[in-house]
Every structure is written in C-alpha cells, then in structure tokens.
Structure 1
Amino acid sequence: MKRVILSAGLISVLAACVSAPTGPTVAVMPRQGKPFEVFQQEDQQCREFAANAVKDTSNAALKDGATSALVGAALGAAAGAVIGGGSHTNVGTGAGVGLLGGAGLGAINASGKENQAQGQYNIAYQQCMYAKGNQVPSYKGN
C-alpha cells in the first residue's frame, strides 16, 4: 500500500512540474500617443487570446508526463516479476524503478512540449498586440 501511495505522490509531483504559460516572454510596446490604460486593456485581452490558443498543447504536456510515468511503472512491475522468476517479491521494486524511469522520460517529453506551448503563446500574443496597433520589436536573423 505504501508503494501505491508513493507512486501516486511521485506522479503528482511530475504533474506539478508541467505548467501552462502564465504570460508572454516577449516585449511589446504601445504605439506613440496610445494611453497606457488602453495598452493595459489590450495586453489583458491578448493574454487571454494567447492562453486559449495554447490550451490544448499545455494539457497534452501534462498528460504525456503522467502517461509515461504510469507506463514505466507497469513495465517495471512486469520486468520485476520476470526477473524474479514469477515471484511477487520483485514486482514492487520493478514498479518503483519503472516509475522513476518513466517519470524521468515523461518530464523530458513534457518539458519539450511546455517550451513549444510558450513559443506558440508568444506568437499568438504578438499577433494580437500587433493587430491592435502596438509595436512588436523584431530581431534580425543571421
């Protein structure tokens, strides 16, 4: 029973590591002459627009992380049983090792999707702010 609780706790910790973008990581400036209060309203509207644009991507990152941990635990339990010659004594150890490995792989996969979600959030935010007449700085490519 302790192993089940520990496993559930580890999956919860993994799930807590994955988060949706909370704001843009790009700078946008109001156009000259625009009141700051109007800029703040547009910023809030565009944050909501961008959050809705990446909602599915953020949820996918969370699901992938938890799924990898569960699959790892199941495979580890099976491997523990096979290695132990069918004995149930190694099933828990195998499940624990599999859970740790699955959680690690899940964290790596989720991190990549989280970065992808932040990039998509930034693009949606910039598009919205640009459409409202704000200045979106660009950078020169190599």
Structure 2
Amino acid sequence: MKPRSVPLLMAAALVVGACTAMPSSPSVMVLPGSSKTLDQFLGDDHNCRQFALGQVGGVSSHQASNTAAMGSSAVGASNSSDSGDSAQHQYDAAYIQCMYASGHRVPVYGQMLAAPPATPPANYKPYSPPPAPQGYAP
C-alpha cells in the first residue's frame, strides 16, 4: 500500500463514520408498570437507555468515565455499516426489552381494531339439553 493512500483511507473512514448518528433517546413511549413508582420508573429508564446505547455500539456514561480514568482517548467505535434508522430501530428494541423486563408497560404492535365476529357455519345447531322424560317430576 502506498504511503499516500493511508491518510486518504483514514479520511474516508472518518467521513463514513461521521454520517452514522447514534440514537440519543428512544422513539417509543413506555409507561410505568402498575406496581412501580415514578422514581423506580425514572431509574429503570436511565438504566435501559444506557443498556440500549451499549447494544447499538455506543458508550454508556459509566464506560466513558472508566475509559477517561484509564487515560485512553478512544471512547468507542460506531458501526458504520448500519444506517441511522437501523440504529434507532435496534436502540428502540433493546430499550423496550429492558423496560419490559423491568416490569413496565411497553408498546405492542399489531391490529388495534376488533375483528368482526365470525358467523357460524350453515349447518350449526346450538346445543340444547334433551327434554326431560315424560312422567318425571323433580
């Protein structure tokens, strides 16, 4: 490899990596679980945001403080093969899983309207008990 191509290759990698934005927050709404207080919800929300950020290749504040304490200038690497939308989707999925595991209410995707009641087949006859025998009085 020629010595001049190395800086060009590094510059190209930097430009491609700069195009990928790390999600900063979930794009879904999660509600506190029925047995959770608001303080518990806020604590779980913070922990799950850190968890989700770690799942998409970001660095949590705890990891950043450990890295800074070690004197390293490299904080983390982003996965440049993922687009911003894909990273947001992965972030949201990890966040929802974490919040659900913590006992909170998460969105459920699917059809929200009730289906019309099914009609019985043409040969359907509802069950009715047999008539009481003649001459039998309870």
Structure 1 length-normalised TM = 0.50
For residues 3-57 of structure 1, give each alpha carbon's deviation from its aligned partner in whole angstroms, at most 9, with x where no partner exists: xxxxx9998666544211111111100012421111000000000000111107x
In the other structure, the counterpart of 2:92 is: 122
Same amino acid, percent of matched pairs: 38
Q: 2: distance between equivalents of 1:141 and 1:117? A: 25
Distance 1:117-1:31 versus aligned 2 partners, 3 A rule: same
Corresponding residue to 2:50 among 35, 48, 59: 48
Residue 120 of structure 1 aligns to which amino acid in structure 2? Answer: Q
Residue 38 of structure 2 aligns to which amino acid in structure 1? Answer: F
Corresponding residue to 1:59 among 78, 85, 88: 78
Output the aligned Cα RMSD.
3.0
Tell me, which stretches of 5 or more residues in structure 2 are unaligned?
A: 1-9, 59-76, 113-138
Q: 2: distance between equivalents of 1:130 and 1:15? A: 32
Structure 2 length-normalised TM = 0.51
Whether 1:18 and 2:37 are equivalent positions in the alignment is no
Q: 1: distance between equivalents of 2:18 and 2:57? A: 16
For residues 55-89 of structure 1, give each alpha carbon's deviation from its aligned partner in whole angstroms, at most 9, with x where no partner exists: 07x7122xx5xxxxxxxxxxxxxxxxxxxxxxxxx
In the other structure, the counterpart of 2:128 is: none
Answer with 8-17 or 36-45: which moved more: 8-17
Whichever of the two has the greater Rg, that structure is: 2
In the other structure, the counterpart of 1:27 is: 29
- CA displacement at 1:115 relative to structure 2: 1.4
Distance 1:13-1:46 versus aligned 2 partners, 3 A rule: same
Higher relative contact order (CA 8 A, sep 6+): 1
Residue 43 of structure 1 aligns to which amino acid in structure 2? Answer: D
Corresponding residue to 1:133 among 93, 103, 109: 103
Q: Is the 8 A contact 2:30 2:104 kept in 1?
A: yes
Q: 1: distance between equivalents of 2:86 and 2:56? A: 9
Moved >3 Å (runs of 4+): 8-17
